[in-house]
Amino acid sequence: MKKFCIISLVLIASIIGIVFIVASLTSNDKFIYKNYTSNEKEIYAIVIDVEDREVEISQSVDDNIHVEYYESEKEFYNLSINDNNEFIISIAYNKSWLDYIGKKPNENYRKIHLQVPNNLLNSIQITTTNEDIKLNNVSFTENIALNTNGGNVEFDNIFVGKQINLIAKNGSITGTIKGDWSDFSISCKIKKGNCNLPTYKDGGTKMLIADCNNGNININFI
């Protein structure tokens, strides 16, 4: 009986080893650089819903939205503009179960970079996992909503007309917001971390909501 158990364990280990070898051989998916410019129609908002992707937003040199990204036959994006004039980016997969075993694609292939015009878009909403969200020197007339599970939310010199909603799990929220402290009502939730803002403050014409679990909140007004 003992001999049978040993043989069974050896066979299971061998099968697992073969699976990982096959997975490593089949994971060499070729990624191709692509770019997109939104000159088809007027856009009011951006909605990005992806997984395992870093998303970086910076200022455009013109009145168009520019997107740079990498995709392959197995991991690619759906880019569209809906009836509400929202520019939508979502991730799609064409994988077998073996493709989910082994290494992730190189980090350079797991990034999306958007350039957006200042003060021409109403809002932006970004959701991702296991990677950071970064905004630099951009302005939106209404709302900013950033949500990452397993990464950081980082921003510098951003402006919003109405509301900022920031969520980070297993990551921190750090950055600078254009405007005065008195411009914002504030609501902060923090768990297993430190926060430089009060949990609640009213009196502002705009709203800042920050929710951080297992990370720190450090937000300053400039």
Closest CA to 153 of 66, 220, 212: 212
3-state secondary structure of 15: helix
Residue 28 contacts by C-beta under 8 Å, 6 or more apart in sequence? Answer: none
pLDDT tens for residues 43-77?
Answer: 999 999 999 999 999 999 898 999 999 999 999 99
pLDDT tens for residues 146-180?
Answer: 999 999 999 999 999 999 999 999 999 999 999 99
CB 180 within 8 A of CB 204: no
Backbone angles phi, psi at 77, to 5 degrees: -120, 150
What's the predicted TM-score (pTM) here?
A: 0.84
Residue 58, strand partner residues: 115
pLDDT exceeds 70 at position 14: no
